[in-house]
Amino acid sequence: MSISSRFAVGVHILTLIEFNKDGVSSSEYLAESVNTNPALIRKIIGMLKKAELVEVHPGIAGANLAKKLSEITLLDVYKAVNVVPENELFSVHENPNPKCLVGRNIQETIIPILSIAQLAMEKVLGSVTIEDIFEAIVEKEKQK
Amino acid sequence: MSISSRFAVGVHILTLIEFNKDGVSSSEYLAESVNTNPALIRKIIGMLKKAELVEVHPGIAGANLAKKLSEITLLDVYKAVNVVPENELFSVHENPNPKCLVGRNIQETIIPILSIAQLAMEKVLGSVTIEDIFEAIVEKEKQK
DNA sequence: TTGATTGTAATTAATATAGTTACATGTAAC
DNA sequence: GTTACATGTAACTATATTAATTACAATCAA
């Protein structure tokens, strides 16, 4: 199964807040660009807020970045929006038979390997910042 | 969300078939070690068969490996059991607003990055064989 | 006080997982 | 050929997650 699009939407939101830094990024404004519902945006914004990536206040329209663009990585967003349980990208079957040689050793054998695979993926996300996304969009737009 | 345990079960099955190479690895036998249902094992074995990792025949008890241990990687198993749609570990929201600068560029900007992250993870899986798992279990068992 | 916005709970439809039952199909052995 | 047994599948269930949506209390600015 795929990792929830909450992650991609989170990246979209943060990037758009920056492009709109001189305007007001309300949940309705952001929802229009993502093409979804303001309530969904508020839910994701709430997660980004808890992770201290954005600042937003009840009753006051608009969200703002809480950090510099270059200090927010895709990994930060990925962790903020909870798309993958900590260290459990791969699920492993519970209760293999301890009476079987394989059953009693399989978990401790494969979990470290799966963890390395997961970390390799997350390392890539950690190497890309929202600033990189911002700049890439500026470049792509120039070519149009 | 996590990747289905079908993958871990597939690895378990293949490893156990090797340990039991002189015996008959029926779906019931394998199910007992995994601690699940024979029908579920047969479903997964069916996928491994389609990927030409095991040999199994209707009416004849037992599954056997179709390749050498060292020629089956975890990536082969991962692909065989269909736990992740091809090149779509990450799902991306559909139909972002083309009228918005970010909306019309976000997909083509992040998809290649997400793809690199996915490939980094899969590369790790491709570097580990069932033989490695087999040997690791032999070692772990010695220490008990 | 009014009007607009955020925060959050509740609901729905669609989809995937994991477990289970049931049975048709296929094979070997008697 | 009949019996016993195993595989291959379809169908069904319970559970969980996603994404979309509605509704409304709490909060703040004007």
Residue A100 lies in a domain: yes
Mean pLDDT score of chain A: 95
Distances, alpha carbon A5 to alpha carbons A77, A87, A131, B24, B37, in Å:
12, 19, 20, 44, 33
The predicted pLDDT at position A1 comes to 80
Render pLDDT for B35-46 as a digit per residue (tens, 0 to 9).
999 999 999 999
Residue B112 lies in a domain: yes
Residue A45 lies in a domain: yes
Q: Which residue of A has its CA nearest to B98?
A: A33
Mean pLDDT score of chain B: 96
Q: In total, how many domains does chain A have?
A: 1
Structural domain that includes position B84? 6-142
DSSP annotation of A4 reads P
Residue B56 backbone phi and psi in degrees, to 5 = -155, 145
Nucleotide C22's nearest residue (CA vs C1') is B39
d(CA A85, CA B83): 17
Is pLDDT above 90 for A102?
A: yes
From the CA of A42 to the C1' of C1: give the distance in Å. Answer: 27
Angle at the Cα of B9 from the Cα atoms of B7 and B15, rounded to 5 degrees: 105
Residue A1 lies in a domain: no
Residue B35 lies in a domain: yes
Chain B residue numbers with beta carbons less than 8 Å from the beta carbon of A83 are: 1
Query: Which nucleotides in chain C have some atom under 7 angstroms from a protein Cβ?
Result: 3-10, 16-22, 25-28
Give the CA count within 13 Å in the CB-facing half-sphere of B68: 2
Asked whether residue A124's C-beta has any atom of DNA/RNA strand C within 7 A, the reply is no
Identity of the residue in B74, B118, B137 whose CB atom sits nearest the CB atom of A105: B137
Q: Which residue of B has its CA nearest to A35?
A: B96
Residue B1 lies in a domain: no
| B116 contacts A120? CB cut-off 8 A | no
From the CA of B40 to the C1' of D4: give the distance in Å. Answer: 23
Taking residues B10-23, report their average pLDDT.
97
> Cα-Cα-Cα-Cα dihedral of B33, B77, A107, B9, to 10°?
-30
Residue A20 lies in a domain: yes
Domain harbouring B49, CATH code: 1.10.10.10
Render pLDDT for B94-133 as a digit per residue (tens, 0 to 9).
999 999 999 999 999 999 999 999 999 999 999 999 999 9
Partnered with residue A57 across adjacent β-strands are A60
Render pLDDT for A5-26 as a digit per residue (tens, 0 to 9).
999 999 999 999 999 999 999 9
Is pLDDT above 90 for B144?
A: no
Residue B97 lies in a domain: yes
Is pLDDT above 90 for B87?
A: no
ipTM attached to this prediction: 0.91
